[in-house]
């Protein structure tokens, strides 16, 4: 299972890098989304996949054999943050498109004010 997860994570990172290297702003934003998804899955995998262990301590489940809850808490936090940042990025991209009239990163180079 860990192997499959690792391949999936690697594919997500690869796709993210490919998208982020393109010129169109919207592709870059999708790339950042994939990148954070990859990072979250990595967090899940690295925390140890629980298998059949119960997720909560209930009647008849001792503390030693339930699944580690920390990775889930970390991922939840990271998802919320990446959601907020992605939505901010989308708004920023839309506003810059309105103001600057382009979403092509090649035209957004900034060295015109001085030599």
Partner 1 sequence: MSNLLLFPIIIPLFFAAILMMFPKNVKLQRVLAVVGAGAALLSALVLLAKVNTDGVQAVTLGSWPAPFGISMVSDPLSALLVVTASILVLLVIFYSIPTIGLRREQSYYYPAVLFLMVGVNGAFTTGDIFNLFVFVEVLLMASYTLIVHGGEKPQLRESIKYLLVNIISSALFVAAVAFLYSVTGTLNMADLAVKIPQIEETGILTVIAVMFLVVFGFKAAIFPLYFWLPGSYYAPPIPILALFGALLTKVGVYAIMRTYTLFFTMNVGFTHELLGIIAILTIFAGCVGALAYFDVKKIIIYNIIIAVGVILFGVAQLNQPGIDGSIMYLIHDMMIKAALFFLVGIIAVLFGTTDLRKMGGLIKTYPVLGWVYLLTAFGLAGIPPLSGFPGKLLIIQGGFEGPQFWGSIVVLATSLIVLLSSVRIFVYAFWGQPVETVPLKKSTFNQMFIPTVILVAMTVVFGVGAELFMPLISGAGEVLLNPSIYIDAVLKE
Residues that bind partner 1 (CB under 8 A): 20, 25, 28, 32, 35-36, 38-40, 42-43, 45-48, 70-71, 74, 77-78, 81-82, 84-85, 88-89, 92-93, 95-96, 99-100, 108, 110, 113-114
- Cβ 109 to partner 1 shortest distance, Å: 8
Pick the closer one to partner 1 by CB: 53 or 77: 77
- Cβ 87 to partner 1 shortest distance, Å: 11
Q: Residue 109: is it exposed, middle or buried by C-beta count within 10 angstroms (0-12/13-18/19+)?
A: exposed
- Cβ 49 to partner 1 shortest distance, Å: 11
């Amino acid at each position: 299972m860990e192997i499959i997860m690792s391949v999936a994570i690697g594919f997500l990172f690869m796709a993210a890098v490919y998208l982020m290297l393109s010129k169109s702003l919207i592709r870059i934003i999708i790339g950042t989304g994939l990148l954070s998804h990859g990072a979250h899955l990595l967090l899940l995998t690295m925390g140890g996949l629980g298998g059949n262990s119960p997720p909560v301590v209930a009647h008849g489940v001792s503390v030693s054999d339930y699944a580690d809850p920390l990775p889930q808490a970390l991922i939840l936090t990271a998802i919320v943050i990446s959601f907020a940042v992605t939505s901010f990025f989308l708004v920023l991209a839309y506003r810059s498109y309105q103001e600057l009239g382009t979403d092509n990163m090649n035209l957004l180079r900034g060295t015109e004010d001085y030599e």
